[in-house]
Protein backbone atom coordinates (compact mmCIF):
# COMPACT_ATOMS: atom_id res chain seq x y z
CA UNK A 1 0.00 0.00 0.00
CA UNK A 2 1.30 3.43 -0.92
CA UNK A 3 2.34 5.76 1.85
CA UNK A 4 -0.33 8.22 2.89
CA UNK A 5 0.30 11.92 2.41
CA UNK A 6 1.70 13.86 5.35
CA UNK A 7 -1.61 15.76 5.40
CA UNK A 8 -2.99 12.81 7.33
CA UNK A 9 -0.70 13.72 10.20
CA UNK A 10 -1.34 17.45 10.03
CA UNK A 11 -4.08 17.34 12.63
CA UNK A 12 -5.89 20.64 13.13
CA UNK A 13 -5.68 21.81 16.73
CA UNK A 14 -7.94 23.94 18.91
CA UNK A 15 -6.61 26.62 21.24
CA UNK A 16 -7.77 25.98 24.79
CA UNK A 17 -7.45 29.03 27.01
CA UNK A 18 -6.38 28.72 30.63
CA UNK A 19 -8.94 28.01 33.30
CA UNK A 20 -9.71 26.09 36.45
CA UNK A 21 -10.82 22.50 36.85
CA UNK A 22 -12.04 20.91 40.06
CA UNK A 23 -11.43 17.13 40.14
CA UNK A 24 -14.58 15.34 41.23
CA UNK A 25 -12.82 13.44 44.01
CA UNK A 26 -12.01 16.64 45.89
CA UNK A 27 -14.51 18.19 48.26
CA UNK A 28 -16.35 21.34 47.30
CA UNK A 29 -13.97 23.52 49.30
CA UNK A 30 -10.75 21.90 48.02
CA UNK A 31 -8.35 23.94 45.88
CA UNK A 32 -9.08 23.77 42.17
CA UNK A 33 -6.54 22.65 39.59
CA UNK A 34 -5.29 25.38 37.30
CA UNK A 35 -5.04 24.38 33.65
CA UNK A 36 -2.68 26.46 31.53
CA UNK A 37 -3.48 27.34 27.94
CA UNK A 38 -2.64 24.56 25.50
CA UNK A 39 -3.50 23.16 22.08
CA UNK A 40 -5.56 20.01 21.54
CA UNK A 41 -6.30 17.98 18.42
CA UNK A 42 -9.80 18.76 17.27
CA UNK A 43 -10.40 15.10 16.43
CA UNK A 44 -9.09 11.73 17.62
CA UNK A 45 -6.17 10.28 15.66
CA UNK A 46 -7.42 8.21 12.74
CA UNK A 47 -6.29 4.87 11.35
CA UNK A 48 -5.01 6.72 8.29
CA UNK A 49 -2.78 9.03 10.29
CA UNK A 50 -1.51 6.24 12.50
CA UNK A 51 -0.74 4.09 9.46
CA UNK A 52 1.53 6.77 8.08
CA UNK A 53 3.26 7.04 11.45
CA UNK A 54 3.82 3.28 11.48
CA UNK A 55 5.18 3.39 7.93
CA UNK A 56 7.75 5.96 9.05
CA UNK A 57 8.51 4.31 12.39
CA UNK A 58 8.82 0.57 11.76
CA UNK A 59 9.24 -0.14 15.48
CA UNK A 60 5.48 0.31 15.84
CA UNK A 61 4.36 -2.05 13.09
CA UNK A 62 1.80 -4.59 14.24
CA UNK A 63 4.17 -7.52 13.67
CA UNK A 64 7.23 -5.78 15.13
CA UNK A 65 6.16 -3.73 18.17
CA UNK A 66 7.86 -5.10 21.34
CA UNK A 67 5.67 -7.11 23.69
CA UNK A 68 6.70 -4.97 26.64
CA UNK A 69 4.98 -2.00 24.97
CA UNK A 70 1.87 -3.57 23.44
CA UNK A 71 -0.49 -6.49 23.99
CA UNK A 72 -1.01 -9.23 21.42
CA UNK A 73 -4.11 -7.59 19.95
CA UNK A 74 -2.24 -4.36 19.10
CA UNK A 75 -3.78 -3.04 15.84
CA UNK A 76 -5.69 -6.31 15.53
CA UNK A 77 -8.38 -4.58 13.45
CA UNK A 78 -5.86 -3.97 10.66
CA UNK A 79 -5.49 -6.47 7.81
CA UNK A 80 -2.51 -7.79 5.86
CA UNK A 81 -1.91 -5.63 2.78
CA UNK A 82 1.04 -6.71 0.70
CA UNK A 83 3.86 -7.24 3.20
CA UNK A 84 2.43 -5.07 5.98
CA UNK A 85 -0.74 -4.58 7.99
CA UNK A 86 -3.02 -1.65 7.20
CA UNK A 87 -6.54 -0.47 8.04
CA UNK A 88 -9.47 -1.44 5.83
CA UNK A 89 -10.36 1.22 3.29
CA UNK A 90 -13.66 1.82 5.07
CA UNK A 91 -11.87 2.51 8.35
CA UNK A 92 -9.20 5.05 7.36
CA UNK A 93 -11.12 8.01 8.78
CA UNK A 94 -12.31 6.18 11.89
CA UNK A 95 -10.36 6.56 15.13
CA UNK A 96 -7.42 4.25 15.57
CA UNK A 97 -8.03 1.75 18.38
CA UNK A 98 -6.14 -1.22 19.83
CA UNK A 99 -3.20 1.10 20.54
CA UNK A 100 -1.25 1.13 23.79
CA UNK A 101 -0.28 4.19 25.81
CA UNK A 102 3.30 3.69 24.65
CA UNK A 103 2.27 3.69 20.98
CA UNK A 104 0.00 6.70 21.43
CA UNK A 105 2.71 8.68 23.21
CA UNK A 106 5.25 7.73 20.53
CA UNK A 107 2.89 8.98 17.83
CA UNK A 108 2.36 12.30 19.60
CA UNK A 109 6.09 12.76 20.22
CA UNK A 110 6.77 12.14 16.53
CA UNK A 111 4.53 15.16 15.84
CA UNK A 112 6.36 17.17 18.52
CA UNK A 113 3.25 16.87 20.64
CA UNK A 114 2.22 14.87 23.72
CA UNK A 115 -0.83 13.20 25.19
CA UNK A 116 -3.12 15.54 27.14
CA UNK A 117 -3.10 15.31 30.93
CA UNK A 118 -6.16 14.10 32.80
CA UNK A 119 -6.88 17.65 33.96
CA UNK A 120 -6.57 19.05 30.42
CA UNK A 121 -8.81 16.33 29.00
CA UNK A 122 -11.47 16.73 31.68
CA UNK A 123 -11.35 20.52 31.39
CA UNK A 124 -12.14 20.34 27.67
CA UNK A 125 -14.57 17.45 28.06
CA UNK A 126 -16.81 19.36 30.46
CA UNK A 127 -17.74 21.79 27.70
CA UNK A 128 -21.07 21.58 25.92
CA UNK A 129 -21.61 22.94 22.43
CA UNK A 130 -22.19 26.44 23.82
CA UNK A 131 -20.52 26.66 27.24
CA UNK A 132 -17.06 26.04 28.71
CA UNK A 133 -18.75 24.06 31.46
CA UNK A 134 -21.97 22.50 30.32
CA UNK A 135 -22.12 19.87 33.04
CA UNK A 136 -25.14 21.52 34.65
CA UNK A 137 -27.14 21.57 31.42
CA UNK A 138 -30.18 19.32 31.41
CA UNK A 139 -29.37 15.93 29.92
CA UNK A 140 -25.62 16.59 29.65
CA UNK A 141 -24.45 13.78 31.93
CA UNK A 142 -27.20 11.37 30.94
CA UNK A 143 -26.20 11.62 27.28
CA UNK A 144 -22.66 10.61 28.18
CA UNK A 145 -23.88 7.77 30.40
CA UNK A 146 -26.09 6.46 27.61
CA UNK A 147 -23.02 6.14 25.41
CA UNK A 148 -20.98 4.48 28.16
CA UNK A 149 -23.69 1.84 28.41
CA UNK A 150 -23.21 0.76 24.80
CA UNK A 151 -19.68 1.83 23.82
CA UNK A 152 -18.22 -1.68 23.84
CA UNK A 153 -20.78 -2.97 21.35
CA UNK A 154 -21.30 -0.10 18.97
CA UNK A 155 -19.74 0.16 15.50
CA UNK A 156 -17.31 3.06 15.22
CA UNK A 157 -18.05 5.93 12.85
CA UNK A 158 -15.68 8.42 11.29
CA UNK A 159 -14.20 11.16 13.44
CA UNK A 160 -15.71 14.64 13.39
CA UNK A 161 -19.24 13.62 12.42
CA UNK A 162 -20.79 15.19 15.51
CA UNK A 163 -21.12 18.84 16.50
CA UNK A 164 -17.96 20.19 18.16
CA UNK A 165 -18.04 21.50 21.69
CA UNK A 166 -17.46 25.07 22.86
CA UNK A 167 -13.73 24.80 22.05
CA UNK A 168 -14.30 23.43 18.55
CA UNK A 169 -13.23 19.94 19.64
CA UNK A 170 -15.07 16.87 18.33
CA UNK A 171 -15.77 13.47 19.87
CA UNK A 172 -14.73 14.04 23.46
CA UNK A 173 -17.71 11.84 24.28
CA UNK A 174 -19.70 9.33 22.27
CA UNK A 175 -17.04 7.70 20.11
CA UNK A 176 -14.11 6.17 22.03
CA UNK A 177 -12.31 6.33 25.36
CA UNK A 178 -8.97 8.17 25.11
CA UNK A 179 -5.53 7.78 26.63
CA UNK A 180 -4.19 10.61 28.78
CA UNK A 181 -0.57 11.29 29.63
CA UNK A 182 -0.98 10.62 33.35
CA UNK A 183 -3.85 8.13 33.19
CA UNK A 184 -2.40 6.04 36.02
CA UNK A 185 -1.85 8.89 38.46
CA UNK A 186 -5.28 10.49 38.61
CA UNK A 187 -6.00 8.91 41.97
CA UNK A 188 -2.47 9.07 43.36
CA UNK A 189 -1.47 11.78 45.79
CA UNK A 190 2.18 10.78 46.16
CA UNK A 191 1.66 9.49 49.71
CA UNK A 192 0.69 5.81 49.81
CA UNK A 193 -1.30 6.17 53.02
CA UNK A 194 -3.37 8.92 51.43
CA UNK A 195 -3.78 7.03 48.15
CA UNK A 196 -5.72 4.21 49.79
CA UNK A 197 -8.18 6.63 51.34
CA UNK A 198 -8.72 8.46 48.05
CA UNK A 199 -9.63 5.20 46.34
CA UNK A 200 -12.02 4.27 49.15
CA UNK A 201 -13.73 7.64 48.96
CA UNK A 202 -14.20 7.28 45.23
CA UNK A 203 -15.49 3.75 45.08
CA UNK A 204 -17.34 3.32 48.38
CA UNK A 205 -20.87 4.63 48.04
CA UNK A 206 -20.85 6.31 51.44
CA UNK A 207 -17.48 8.00 50.96
CA UNK A 208 -18.15 9.31 47.46
CA UNK A 209 -20.88 11.53 48.89
CA UNK A 210 -18.11 13.92 49.88
CA UNK A 211 -17.03 14.44 46.26
CA UNK A 212 -17.62 17.69 44.43
CA UNK A 213 -20.57 16.22 42.53
CA UNK A 214 -21.52 12.74 43.77
CA UNK A 215 -24.15 12.53 41.01
CA UNK A 216 -21.58 12.89 38.22
CA UNK A 217 -21.49 9.18 37.47
CA UNK A 218 -19.98 9.74 34.02
CA UNK A 219 -16.86 11.32 35.53
CA UNK A 220 -16.60 8.57 38.16
CA UNK A 221 -16.68 6.01 35.36
CA UNK A 222 -13.83 7.76 33.52
CA UNK A 223 -11.70 7.84 36.64
CA UNK A 224 -12.52 4.23 37.38
CA UNK A 225 -11.66 3.17 33.83
CA UNK A 226 -8.36 5.03 33.81
CA UNK A 227 -7.30 3.55 37.13
CA UNK A 228 -7.83 0.05 35.73
CA UNK A 229 -5.50 0.52 32.77
CA UNK A 230 -1.96 -0.65 32.19
CA UNK A 231 0.19 1.25 29.69
CA UNK A 232 0.52 -1.74 27.34
CA UNK A 233 -3.24 -2.44 27.18
CA UNK A 234 -4.81 -2.33 23.71
CA UNK A 235 -8.60 -2.17 23.69
CA UNK A 236 -11.20 -1.97 20.96
CA UNK A 237 -12.81 1.13 22.45
CA UNK A 238 -9.62 3.03 23.38
CA UNK A 239 -7.80 5.53 21.16
CA UNK A 240 -6.24 8.96 21.64
CA UNK A 241 -5.60 12.50 20.48
CA UNK A 242 -2.59 14.73 21.03
CA UNK A 243 -1.96 17.99 22.85
CA UNK A 244 0.76 20.60 22.64
CA UNK A 245 1.98 23.49 24.76
CA UNK A 246 1.00 26.87 23.39
CA UNK A 247 4.59 28.17 23.46
CA UNK A 248 5.96 25.09 21.67
Question: What DSSP assignment string belongs to 63-92?
Answer: TTS-TTTS-TTTTTT-EEETTEEE--GGGT
Burial profile 31-62: b = 16 or more Cβ within 10 angstroms, e = fewer: eebebeebbbbbbbbbbbbbbbbbbeeeebeb
In this prediction, residue 142 carries a pLDDT of: 67
Query: Highest mean pLDDT: which of 23-32, 125-134, 193-202?
Result: 125-134
Nearest to 79 by CA among 95, 67, 63, 68: 63
At 169 the three-state DSSP class reads coil
Mean pLDDT on 152-174: 87
Mean pLDDT taken over the chain: 80
Name the domain count of the chain: 1
Domain that holds residue 102: 15-239
Q: Examine residue 127 and state whether it is found in any structural domain, yes or no.
A: yes
Q: Examine residue 244 and state whether it is found in any structural domain, yes or no.
A: no
Q: Examine residue 51 and state whether it is found in any structural domain, yes or no.
A: yes
Tell me the pLDDT tens digit for each residue of 59-95.
Answer: 999 999 999 999 999 999 999 977 889 999 999 999 9
- The span from the first CA to the last CA of the chain, in angstroms, equals 34
CATH number of the domain encompassing residue 153:
3.90.1580
pLDDT: which is higher, 156 or 191: 156
Q: Examine residue 76 and state whether it is found in any structural domain, yes or no.
A: yes
46 near 159, Cβ under 8 Å? yes
Q: Examine residue 1 and state whether it is found in any structural domain, yes or no.
A: no
Q: Examine residue 59 and state whether it is found in any structural domain, yes or no.
A: yes
Q: Examine residue 4 and state whether it is found in any structural domain, yes or no.
A: no
Angle, vertex CA 226, rays to CA 197 and CA 144, nearest 5: 110
Q: Examine residue 27 and state whether it is found in any structural domain, yes or no.
A: yes
pLDDT: which is higher, 189 or 178: 178
At 224 the three-state DSSP class reads helix
In this prediction, residue 10 carries a pLDDT of: 61
Amino acid sequence: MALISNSALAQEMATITAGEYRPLYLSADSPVVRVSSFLLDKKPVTNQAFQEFVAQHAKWRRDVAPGIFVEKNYLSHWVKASSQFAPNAADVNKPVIFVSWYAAQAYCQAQQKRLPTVAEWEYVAQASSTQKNGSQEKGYNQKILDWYAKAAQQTLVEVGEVQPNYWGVHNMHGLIWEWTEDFNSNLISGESRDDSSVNKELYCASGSAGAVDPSDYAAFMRYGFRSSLNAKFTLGSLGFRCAQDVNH
